Amino acid sequence: MAASNFTPVQGINRLIRGFADTKKINVSTHPRSFPTGSFLWLNKVSGRYQAEPALLSPTNATTDSTAANSSASTYTTAALFQAAIAPLFLGIAAEARIPAQLNTLGAFGVASNGSGVPVPGIYPMDASKPFISYWDSGIAVMPVGPSLLTSGAITTAIDPGTKVTIDTFVNEETYGFYDSAGAQQIGDTDYYGYNAGVTTTATAANAIGVVVERAEVGQNFVVVKFEAYPFQLSGIVG
């Protein structure tokens, strides 16, 4: 049984309809874990733009983090995390990526095993190109994050027009989870975001999308029109 508070959300973000322009962007040359449908944020490292998964905290912006130097989050509230990641929001990953070929295998995007001992490598090696396809806008089914769930479902309906943002969790101090760069985040009780999983928000500044179909009591997903931050600046979401 894992000791970390981090438990991956059940389900992934799935594009279902609407105009969607598939784009490509660099990924880090260091190991990363990108499940399909991951929320992506834009990182600029020495003039090179690359996509990062939400589970790698935007505290790491401007840093090409490795498992050895990945920085723990500095966000002491969910709102601070959401305010930091929203202006960097790229969209959702159209494909998965796993640690690149010949990199050291490690634990990525998983909870600690509760003993402080690194979890054995869980991914095979990958010979993929150093870029990833993603959607910067569209309509997607997104899992509801744990902060809105009671016994695995919502207890209050979510109406169309409700803005959503990336849901968060507080890292457990003693046996922290392994982030998407493979670093075990021990001793850090700040906030991190899920690769998939949204929560409602009342502020346009935090929003990554807006609900377009009423989510009824008992559901654990919402249908969301999402858009990368440049679109939000034009008022399409906000």
Tell me the one-letter amino acid at 194. Y
In a domain, 83, yes or no: yes
- The boundaries of the domain holding residue 97 are 14-233
Mean of the per-residue pLDDT values for the chain? Answer: 84
In a domain, 219, yes or no: yes
Classified as helix, coil or strand, 218 is coil
In the structure, what pLDDT confidence band is assigned to residue 155 with cuts at 50, 70 and 90?
very high
In a domain, 238, yes or no: no
In a domain, 9, yes or no: no
In a domain, 152, yes or no: yes
Q: What is the pTM of this model?
A: 0.88
Q: How many structural domains are present in the chain?
A: 1
Tell me the one-letter amino acid at 122. I
Under the phi-then-psi rule, with left for phi > 0, alpha for psi from -120 to 50, and beta for the rest, what region is 23?
Answer: beta
Q: What's the pLDDT tens digit per position in 83-124? A: 999 999 999 999 888 765 445 555 677 777 665 555 444 444
In a domain, 1, yes or no: no
| CA separation for the pair 13, 6 (Å, rounded) | 18
In a domain, 133, yes or no: yes
What percent of the chain has a predicted confidence (pLDDT) above 90? 54
Evaluate if residue 139 carries a pLDDT over 60: yes
Q: What is the mean pLDDT of residues 46-50?
A: 92
Evaluate if residue 236 carries a pLDDT over 50: no
Number of Cβ atoms within 10 Å of the Cβ of 100: 18
Q: Identify which has the larger pLDDT, 145 or 67.
A: 145
DSSP letter assigned to residue 205: G
Evaluate if residue 205 carries a pLDDT over 90: no
| Adjacent-strand bridge partners of 93 | 134
Q: Which residue has the tokens 């509230």?
A: 77
In a domain, 7, yes or no: no
